A and B are shown apart, each in its own frame.
Chain A
């Protein structure tokens, strides 16, 4: 007989599916689904290679996948946010915590509930990996991926319970978990010592090329310590690469054992997690967050809002206040300032030019990555405020004004972050006396970034906010995006769609910029980059204006009831 928790999980899943199917009656959701399926078909079927990349052997693929899984496991231990993994919804806290249920039952329910996301991602990954080097049947692969994702989810929950127990019981818990903690500490120490030996060999291979680097990495990986460290990851990914049912049958046994061990570990945990979970649910309810992390807002002083001026400036001020009053902004500013200070100190003190060059390239690369990743990470805009759509709609402002002001908030934060990184890169290259790229090109690029980055970021944020406005039931409303390995497939899909749209929108500005640069470069050299950026800026501004007007109309006609409550997403 199905228990009440099984009934709750089954009916919730069924109702969620029905609701999502009903949404397809709305044309915009139907069109979005068709576009998504077309994209999947293009990536999964049209682009599927007849055979795997010739230069990458199955062993290397297995090594890379195992390294990825190991990195995820380590990340969970080092940065695992227990409140995320333990978060129950407010309704669950209200109804289940006072109910006559054991902790074990609550944990089992949580595991069951997490299967919805896992199964969706199993389908997605099975489809995306359905060709090439991983040439095994989709059912075998689906089974292997399901075990992998479920094990990772269990691992995250187990770590969260352990951390919760440590917080709850303090030194007593440390004593009872002494063996586990000691093993982790020893493992980390051994790995660090061993890794230090391998660095010179890897560095030398890197200079020779990717193929040599992969071969060197493989040699390092078969040494005893890395091999032991990567063993769980290798075992978990091996069934995904099996070529036959017989091979799969042999390869699947260790992952099943690992999964079973994780299950026992988690359900036998006696961690009193209720308080953490309840706090997470409350925080999520208050802030409209999905993640369940504590809000962490402090009434830090901010510049006072002038009583007169552009009314929508109040929205921009509010969204910047939201960032300033979290620890994240403070951490980012302090981090950037510390790196900048170190770079200047190294430059003036005659420090290693190699170090400065590496810092420069890292900072420049991160600024570049943020063009794509930043709009998904920085969310102090309509995505955070959409749960208050009714309130926003009551303000005496035009729809396009609200959308513009909201988007400007996240644009300002992202641009400041990128310019900080670019500034560090500029200083580091200058201090490191780097010749390529030339100082003239670097200065011109810096000027172009100052001119063009706000525009490109605004366009990118408009896409993100537009998606939230057009498809509020599909986009995670709140300051955080979906997290965890089990949501990786969804994130990739969303990011791919975002990149395609952004690239399409940047075609015209790029064409204009290219034309201006080619025309002026013979006369003004690399400095032609700046007028080219201005040209691109004008086209981008025109595009943004058109999109803003359209989204403004969408904002004015979107019914607040179409935005699902945060916890039901």
Chain B
């Protein structure tokens, strides 16, 4: 489970995230959407323990991120929008490296399955510079999943993947949610969010515009009834909002 309570992050004069509170239960996939500059990545960075919030409280799998960061981080995985790989480690060594950090003793047994799932079997000895953009993204995702996280944070996870990779990735996210992981997924691909997310959190200028299932969000705006998420999103943030940031 992922819980945020009164999350607030300020950079100088800019309030990137303001009083954000929500809870993502095990098995849920929450889509984080909003125009550029809405505060999505800052929110994910705060939840991942990368950025220290100005105020507010975050709990991951029951562990307070500020008081017990090691336990909280052990339970979560974060996949950034750009795959940050070590250019001197091979594909398999990346997995072994991350497994050691997250204390995964049976990594040798897990590696073949993970590589097969992400179609990287024949690239296990390759350095990152020998991989395509999509393969690097797959490797970053594989590293995130190697320790079976209870909380999964994904920032634009489908960037660079081919159609087959996108389909597999969607299945992987849903599999992990079904296995009990709480998932937050940030994406501009609204059809993806609509397809796999159980609830949607729409942000604008660091604030929550709406949070709930699409049906719940539409219920608050009867004029958007029967519309797709894209129309709901544009209706909530407005055309101007979609271009901000």
Contacts and interface: CB of A to CB of B under 8 A. Distances in A.
Interface residues of A, number: 38
Nearest to A305: B96
B101 A311 contact: yes
B108 A307 contact: yes
A434 B121 CA distance: 59
A24 to B, nearest CB: 14
Contact of A297 (B71, B87, B97): B87
A287 B11 CA distance: 28
Interface in A496-519: none
B21 to A, nearest CB: 22
Given A314-B100, A394-B73, A395-B101, A321 B93 contact: yes
A311 B102 CA distance: 7
B97 to A, nearest CB: 5
Contact of A391 (B72, B84, B102): B84
Interface in B91-116: 93, 96-108
A307 B101 contact: no
Contacts of B93: 302, 305, 321
A280 to B, nearest CB: 14
Contact of B97 (A317, A396, A560): A317
Interface in A380-404: 388, 390-391, 393-398
Contacts of A350: none
A524 interface: no
Interface residues of B, number: 40
Nearest to B91: A299
A185 B158 CA distance: 57
Nearest to A314: B100
Task: Kindly name the residue among B11, B88, B96, B99 whose own CB sees the greatest number of chain A CB atoms within 10 A.
Answer: B88
B99 A561 contact: no
Nearest to A312: B101
Interface stretch (B22-30, B125-133, B195-203, B213-221): B125-133
B45 interface: yes
Nearest to B103: A311
B84 A388 contact: yes
Interface string B130-149: 00000000000000000000
A53 B93 CA distance: 58
Interface stretch (B48-56, B164-172, B229-237): B48-56
A309 B73 contact: no
A322 B45 contact: no
A481 interface: no
A490 B49 CA distance: 35
Contacts of A557: 52
A393 B101 CA distance: 12
Contacts of B72: 396
A560 B45 contact: yes
A568 interface: no
B89 interface: yes
Given A325-B88, A559-B52, A560-B45, A308 B105 contact: yes
Nearest to A388: B84
A556 interface: yes
A321 B84 contact: no
A395 B71 CA distance: 10
B29 to A, nearest CB: 20
A103 interface: no
Interface string B40-81: 000001001111100000000000000001111110001010
B136 to A, nearest CB: 11
A318 interface: yes
A393 B49 contact: yes
B36 interface: no
Contacts of A388: 84, 86
A410 to B, nearest CB: 14
A295 interface: yes
A428 to B, nearest CB: 34
B90 interface: yes
A295 B128 CA distance: 12
Nearest to A25: B12
A297 B127 contact: yes
A322 B127 CA distance: 12
Nearest to A308: B105
A222 to B, nearest CB: 51
Contacts of B50: 390, 393-394, 560
A321 B104 contact: no
A556 B51 contact: no
Contacts of A435: none
A318 B89 contact: yes
A204 to B, nearest CB: 50
A304 interface: yes
A369 B165 CA distance: 53
Contacts of B86: 318, 322, 388
Interface in A337-371: none
A523 interface: no
A536 to B, nearest CB: 33
B89 A321 contact: yes
Contacts of B48: 393-394
Interface in A320-337: 321-322, 325-326
Contacts of B106: 307
A295 B84 contact: no
A314 B97 contact: yes
Nearest to B94: A318
Q: Which of A304, A388, A394, A395 has the most CB of B within 10 A?
A: A394
A413 to B, nearest CB: 14
Given A286-B128, A299-B127, 13 more contacts: A295-B87, A297-B127, A304-B96, A307-B100, A311-B102, A318-B89, A321-B88, A325-B88, A388-B84, A393-B49, A393-B51, A394-B48, A395-B73
Interface of A: 286-287, 295, 297-299, 302, 304-309, 311-315, 317-318, 321-322, 325-326, 388, 390-391, 393-398, 556-557, 559-561
Interface of B: 11, 45, 48-52, 69-74, 78, 80, 84, 86-90, 93, 96-108, 125-129
8 contacts: A297-B88, A299-B127, A307-B96, A313-B100, A326-B88, A391-B80, A557-B52, A559-B11
What are the 4 A-B residue pairs with the smallest beta carbon separation, nearest first? A396-B73, A314-B100, A396-B74, A393-B50
